[in-house]
């Protein structure tokens, strides 16, 4: 949307992320994987990092007490999720992001997940998130407005993506936690 006041902020936050070199990104991904691993179990949705996002593949090395899943685009700008292990088949979606090549009947609904590692461009201390602007996560996890149970939504970002306060929209689904290379951020109440 050309008039979305968040667009300028998205460009600024994207530039901050691109300023990090590959080494810093890998180190951040490893630190975040190490910090989160002990708390993970069941079905865990990750993502295939693109555009300088925090890489999560560190989660897949070493012992794993959870089933790692990747998002799969659905009609209506929603997401479902597919278990994925290194070596499993991938196809590119319309944004050029690899996703598992599974029959629709094998995909998991968002409600079936235990933890969701949510990619973000920006976050604030209240657990509000700025994403790429498609509303995919907000739409898919809108049920969290009604009940605060599982899945646990964990934003994944670099510390430099924190802003003082994001303009919150009605449809924003707040994060339960944000993980950065500098540690875990527990959202504060207003
Ligand atoms: N790694 C990763 N996977 C993800 C997301 C994400 O943010 N990161 N998503 C999080 O939602 C979903 C995909 N959402 C996306 C939304 C917009 C664009 C994008 O590039 N938009 C272009 C416009 C392209 C077009 O409309 O054809 C743009 O903004 O310039 C990409 C992915 C699911 N998978
Ligand atoms: N629950 C919902 N139902 C219908 N539309 C929604 C819902 N949540 C978000 N949207 C729509 O999605 C659009 C994009 O939302 P927003 O800018 O918050 O995306 P985002 O969180 O940055 O993106 P993403 O989750 O894909 O990374 C908005 O125009 C909004 O109207």
What are the tens digits of pLDDT across the range 69-115?
A: 999 999 999 999 999 999 999 999 999 999 999 999 999 999 999 99
Whether residue 68 lies inside any domain: the answer is yes
| CA dist list (Å): 73 to 29, 88, 90, 96, 175 | 24, 18, 13, 11, 21
**Integer Cα distance of 55 and 121 in angstroms:** 14
Residues 6+ apart with CB under 8 A from 38: none
Q: Which two tokens stand for residue 174?
A: 């707040």
1 lies in a domain?
no
Decide: 137 in ligand 1 pocket, CB within 6 A.
yes
* In a domain? residue 100: yes
Domain count, the chain: 1
Here the CATH number for the domain that contains residue 129 is: 3.40.50.10420
Kindly state the DSSP code that residue 108 receives in the 8-state scheme.
B
Domain range for 16 is: 7-185
- Asked whether residue 190 is assigned to any structural domain, the reply reads no
What integer best gives the mean pLDDT of the chain? 95
Q: How far apart are the first and last CA of the chain?
A: 28
The two structure tokens encoding residue 162: 């924190």
Q: Is residue 2 part of a domain?
A: no
pLDDT at 4: 77
Q: Is residue 54 part of a domain?
A: yes
Strands 115-119, 42-45: pairing kind: parallel
**pTM summary value:** 0.95
Q: Give the whole-angstrom CA distance, residue 161 versus residue 157.
A: 6
Residue whose CA is at the smallest distance from ligand 1 atom 34: 71
Q: Is residue 189 over pLDDT 90?
A: no
Query: Residue 162: its pLDDT value, please?
Result: 98
Question: For the segment 128-164, what is each residue's pLDDT rounded down to a tens digit?
Answer: 999 999 999 999 999 999 988 899 999 999 999 999 9
Q: Per-residue pLDDT for 2 more than 70?
A: no
Structure tokens belonging to residue 147? 């009940």
The confidence score (pLDDT) of residue 1 equals 56
- 173 Cα–ligand 2 center, Å: 10
- Looking at residue 36, the DSSP 8-state letter turns out to be H
Q: Is 15 exposed, middle or buried (0-12, 13-18, 19+ CB in 10 A)?
A: exposed
62 CA from centroid of ligand 2 (Å): 35
In a domain? residue 153: yes
Q: Which of 132, 141, 156, 157 to mutate for ligand 1's pocket (most ligand atoms within 8 Å of CB)?
A: 132
Asked if residue 16 belongs to a domain, the reply is yes
């Amino acid at each position: 949307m050309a008039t979305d006041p968040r667009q300028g902020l998205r460009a600024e936050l994207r530039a901050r992320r691109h300023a990090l070199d590959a080494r810093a990104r890998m180190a951040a991904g490893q630190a975040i994987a190490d910090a989160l691993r002990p708390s993970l179990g069941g079905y865990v949705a990750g993502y295939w990092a693109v555009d300088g996002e925090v890489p999560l593949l560190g989660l897949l090395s070493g012992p794993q007490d959870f089933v790692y899943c990747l998002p799969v685009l659905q009609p209506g700008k929603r997401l479902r999720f597919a278990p994925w292990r290194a070596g499993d088949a991938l196809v590119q979606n319309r944004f050029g992001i690899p996703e598992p090549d599974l029959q629709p009947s094998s995909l998991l609904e968002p409600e079936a997940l235990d933890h969701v590692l949510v990619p973000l461009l920006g976050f604030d201390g209240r657990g509000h998130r700025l994403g790429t602007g498609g509303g995919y996560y907000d739409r898919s996890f809108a049920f969290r407005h009604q009940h605060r149970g599982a899945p646990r939504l964990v934003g994944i970002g670099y510390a430099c993506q924190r802003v003082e306060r994001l303009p919150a929209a009605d449809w924003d689904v707040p994060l339960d936690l944000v993980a950065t290379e500098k540690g875990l951020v527990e959202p504060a109440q207003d």
